[in-house]
Amino acid sequence: MKKLILLIVATVILFLPEFAQAEVVNDDVKVAFFRDGHLWTKINGKEEQVTEEPAQFPYPPQWSHDGKWIMYQKDVIATINDCKKVQSEIWVYSVAEKKHQKIFYDGFGPKWSPKENIIAFQSRGVLNISDLDKFYNIALGVDDFNWFPDGKGFIASSGASLRPDGWTNPILYKISLKEDFKNLTSLMENAKRFYTIPKELSKDSASVMSINATTFEFSPDHKWISFIVSPTGSMSMDSNMLCVINTDGKDFAVIDEMILNLDNPKWADQKNMLGYIAGGGRIVDGFKNKDMKVTEIPSNQSLNLTPASQAELGFTWVNDNSLIVSRVPESEWSNDPKERPKPSLYLINIIGQEQTKITNPPADLGDYLPNYVPALKKVAWLRKTEANESSNLWIADRDGKNAQVWIKDISISGYAVYPY
């Protein structure tokens, strides 16, 4: 009898790790990611390499709204007029048919429709749409864009131009998308001026020239749009202005100063709460003046959630009342990546402003790019060196418990989870 009990206990212990893994993985959750120059998927717990030729992938892959397709960009060297240049090809991959299809030979900024399996993208200032078979010109002079949540049009911007008497204003447009977009006879009649951005924007003691408007995102109730206004060239590395405008164009506000290339502003799930990392000054000037803020719209009441002597590098909403941030102690920049501060993840309760450290990476690694996955009710993040020598995708409960590696050796260019 004792031998039988010992055998049962040993069997349970042997299979405990498998049970723990099964609790993390949901068969309905799919991941697309890059590894060693290839596109991979992880579906039903199984990893599969789905591209044959190695390539450079500059941006994260994107799942279609129904999870049947993956869109990705890859850089290729093309010879044009005896000169070699890098082109960014746009491709899609059918998960069911396991087939790849090129959408366009040199495009950028592709975005799936939120309602259909069609893609909008840009090429040399032209906004185009592809039905995964052919592409169609939609509008001219577009600097950046995003779909309206109903999939029936776009919010778009046209950047300022330099004239003999100075810079013009950047302009926002609404571009309607008709059902017969394949038969458009004019690329201008569906574009309507929406708002002219002032030539200079200020917040507290900071001011920027208004040259470009980018990174459009809609509030949960679809009544407000957040976006970033940037100055010229390298100045955008130091200071930009986060703005909001309501969808009728009557209310426009400058929310705060921020920099590019840290983390984009994000709306909460259901409340009109806009989260962002505020503060000017590029990171090479030091890990400082980077505060996690949340602003309620339209009251524009802001809350700073970063303690003194700390700086934020990234964040994700967990729900309307809590966030997870990637945080480092304030410090000066070092040209030696090993000497730069390594971030850990912190869970922040907005209402009580309670803050809890939820990860403790090894001394030579940091926890970057937190991403809450609602379908799993867990947070994912990249654990890597500051020099990007290696990266593993980790996953844990939102309080940091049950942490484990989800996907090993993942490229820092990004990944995508479906459902998102």
* Residue-range domain boundaries for the chain: 122-419
pLDDT at 78: 82
pLDDT at 136: 96
pLDDT at 100: 98
Q: What is the CA radius of gyration of the chain?
A: 23
| Whole-number Å distance between alpha carbons of 217 and 208 | 21
Topology, domain 122-419: Methylamine Dehydrogenase; Chain H (2.130.10)
pLDDT at 18: 37
Work out the number of other CB atoms within 10 angstroms of the CB of residue 300. 14
3-class DSSP assignment, residue 24: helix
3-class DSSP assignment, residue 255: strand
Cα dihedral 300/303/308/310 (nearest 10): -90
Mean pLDDT of the chain: 92
Burial 367-383 (b: 16+ CB within 10 A, else e): bbbbbbbeebebbbbbb
Q: How far is CA 93 from the centre of its chain?
A: 20
> For the residues of 377-405, what is the DSSP string, one character each?
TEEEEEEE-TT-S-EEEEEEETTSTT-EE
Q: Identify the segments of the chain with pLDDT beneath 70.
A: 1-27, 389
Work out the number of other CB atoms within 10 angstroms of the CB of residue 55. 18
Residue 176 near residue 152, CB atoms below 8 Å: yes
pLDDT tens readout for residues 129-185: 999 999 999 999 999 999 999 999 999 999 999 999 999 999 999 999 988 888 888
Question: Which are the contacts of 106, defined by CB distance < 8 A and separation ≥ 6?
Answer: 78, 87, 88, 89, 123
Residue 279 near residue 291, CB atoms below 8 Å: yes
pLDDT at 361: 97
Cα dihedral 146/149/150/155 (nearest 10): -30
pLDDT at 387: 77
pLDDT at 376: 96
